[in-house]
Structure 1
Amino acid sequence: MATRADRRASGAARHRLLPGGRGAGPMPWIIAIMMFLTVLAAAAGLGLGAAVRAMSADLAGRASVQVVEADAQARARLATRTLAALRGADGVRTAIPVDPAVLADQLRPWLGDDATSGELPVPALIDVTLTPGDAAAKVAHLRRLLGGLSPRLRIEPHAAFLLPLAGLLSALGWLAVAVVVLMGLATGAVVVLAARGAHDSHRTTIDVLHLMGSTDVQIARLFQRRIGLDAMMGGALGFAFALLAILIIGLRLSATGSELLGAVNLDWAGWVLLAALPVGGVVLATLAARWTVLRALGRAL
């Protein structure tokens, strides 16, 4: 049975395996930087995913009908007939003509004052909202209907214009997911290297602990406790700075007034997932440290 002096020696040996003070080594700061980047990448992926879903839901059932007629009076008559036909067609929830003044304001940055002078034959537009269901089939039906009215009528689904943009946002979202995975692997690798270095630099202390009767599991618990504390401190610090950056970026996006950029937001499930990242980082660091030390101790026997 170990004496009181042996227990004091064992306690002193254990204490030497723990850091002299929190933040004294580089490990917390490395984990803080990696957690900061991980949370930002995860937030970007979640925000882009939300934007793609909002864009798809908003544009899937919408289309625009163009009345391409050079003569203004003929264009107005054809637009009236088209509007009546659309409002009575199957699969159409609403059909609303676009105000020519609003259209002219949108064209003015590219066409100048000629957009409102009436000299340019600007097509008349009708905004169409479809009923839920197969949007492609409904658009094909309306295209046949409008083709029977006049060859100067064109219908274009809104989703067709923004499909490349939606694909780009989806690709960026998956890239953000890949960055999160790579940062997790890099964090695990850093912890493994730190645990190996701590084990190699405390071999004498480990031998003393073995002589005092400590098992490999008990020794590994000391290492995982030290690295777990470092990971907790670094994860909390990195998450706090990432949260501040996300809030600042969110305010800047809201200030732009863009509907697309405004759709890049996080719901409550996204915030819960972000909050779980530091916890997952601590668990990952603790398990990696335990596995590394136990493997090193097993090889040393």
Structure 2
Amino acid sequence: MVRRLLASRGAELIAQGRLSGPMPWVIAIMVAMTGIALAGGLALGNAVSAAKAEIEGGITVQILEPRAEVREQEAARAVATITRMRDVAGLRLVPQAELDALIEPWLGTGIAAATGSAIPVPALIDVRLKGPVSPAQLAAIERTLRPAAPSARVDAQSNWLKPVFDAMVSLQVLAIALVALLTLALAAAVLLAVRNALGTNRDTIEIVHLLGGTDRQVARLFQRSIGYDAAGGGAVGLALAMVVILALGRRFAGLGAGLVDSGALVWSDWLLLAMVPVLSTLLAMATARLTVLHALRKML
């Protein structure tokens, strides 16, 4: 009898409106912020992974000779020497016009005339090895190039971007920490709302117990109510997060930067984002149930 009464009129026995109130909107905000932070962390992770995979076997050979004609001769001999090396998968001598275009934003237009003598620009050879670059390989390549190009300097491309990678990993850790904090904040908000509802409905809960109702049946009422709130708020929060993520994605896509483009979200990332409101609903329901059961044990 009591079970049927709670199942059919549980919402009338306990004032569910007091439990709801602003709760769906609080959950919506939490889910939206969690989704945005999670998307940022996933995008950073994708960018770092793609960039590391791309430059893992890359080295750059700089010909630092200031005299243009000698620099061109050394570059040609360096290309011929590198081509004969066993571990080289490919190479490219960067054209002078491309180098001028790279430094033009810093030195202004008309660089072609200035770089002839006043500002000599090193010749660059982009080399791709068959495997990851090791310090021993760098030293061996530089020794091999020394007779053909005395001014050659060999650097691993990964060394140049290591500070950038470290900064991006730090931001990724920050995003993960933010997701964890938002998860704790959501649980805390649900806990406070349930405790407030328990205090408001204390007399009704005691009557339910006198009629034979159990703690689990009462907890199920609060769990179901908070589940509805969390599901509705989570859907709204996910929609808000998608709008922000897509808007930011279009903004960054307009930059045309390779490192930014490699941070695009893949299908598994979108699936994980879609799980945020589902997991938030489950967390809210579990928090509500445990809070009610714990409070009722102390109440009676």
Superposed pair shares fold, TM > 0.5: yes
1:35 and 2:31 are equivalent in the alignment: yes
1:149 and 2:148 are equivalent in the alignment: yes
Do the aligned residues in 1 keep the contact of 2:187 with 2:284 (CA within 8 Å)? yes
Do the aligned residues in 2 keep the contact of 1:64 with 1:156 (CA within 8 Å)? yes
The separation in 1 between residues aligned to 2:109 and 2:137, in whole angstroms, is 37
Do the aligned residues in 1 keep the contact of 2:60 with 2:125 (CA within 8 Å)? yes
How many angstroms does 1:134 deviate by?
Answer: 4.4
TM-score normalised according to structure 2 size: 0.93
Do the aligned residues in 1 keep the contact of 2:88 with 2:128 (CA within 8 Å)? yes
**Number of the residue aligned with 1:81:** 77
1:66 and 2:62 are equivalent in the alignment: yes
The separation in 1 between residues aligned to 2:70 and 2:231, in whole angstroms, is 72
**Number of the residue aligned with 1:172:** 171
Do the aligned residues in 1 keep the contact of 2:47 with 2:263 (CA within 8 Å)? yes
Deviations 1:176-220 (A, max 9, x none): 001101111111111111111111100111122112221110010
Q: 1:288 to 1:26 in 2, by over 3 A?
A: same
**Number of the residue aligned with 1:92:** 88
The separation in 2 between residues aligned to 1:230 and 1:10, in whole angstroms, is 18
**Number of the residue aligned with 2:224:** 225
Q: 1:110 to 1:207 in 2, by over 3 A?
A: same
1:213 and 2:209 are equivalent in the alignment: no
1:193-208 alignment runs, 5 A limit: 193-208=192-207
The separation in 1 between residues aligned to 2:57 and 2:294, in whole angstroms, is 58
Q: Aligned letter for 2:274?
A: A
Deviations 1:123-168 (A, max 9, x none): 1111111112444433232122123434311111111111000000
- Between stretches 222-231 and 257-266, larger displacement belongs to 257-266
Q: 1:109 to 1:292 in 2, by over 3 A?
A: same
TM-score normalised according to structure 1 size: 0.92
Q: Aligned letter for 2:257?
A: S
Identity level (%): 41
- Between stretches 193-202 and 269-278, larger displacement belongs to 269-278
The separation in 2 between residues aligned to 1:86 and 1:12, in whole angstroms, is 82
How many residue pairs get aligned? The number is 297
- Between stretches 232-241 and 23-32, larger displacement belongs to 23-32
Do the aligned residues in 2 keep the contact of 1:10 with 1:208 (CA within 8 Å)? no
Q: Aligned letter for 1:212?
A: L
- Between stretches 234-243 and 149-158, larger displacement belongs to 149-158
1:109-188 alignment runs, 5 A limit: 109-113=105-109, 115-117=111-113, 118-119=116-117, 120-188=119-187
Do the aligned residues in 2 keep the contact of 1:18 with 1:226 (CA within 8 Å)? no
1:195-274 alignment runs, 5 A limit: 195-274=194-273
The separation in 1 between residues aligned to 2:100 and 2:167, in whole angstroms, is 30
How many angstroms does 1:114 deviate by?
Answer: 5.3
The separation in 1 between residues aligned to 2:85 and 2:106, in whole angstroms, is 35
| SS in structure 2 at match of 1:265 | coil
The separation in 2 between residues aligned to 1:38 and 1:127, in whole angstroms, is 41
Do the aligned residues in 1 keep the contact of 2:87 with 2:130 (CA within 8 Å)? yes
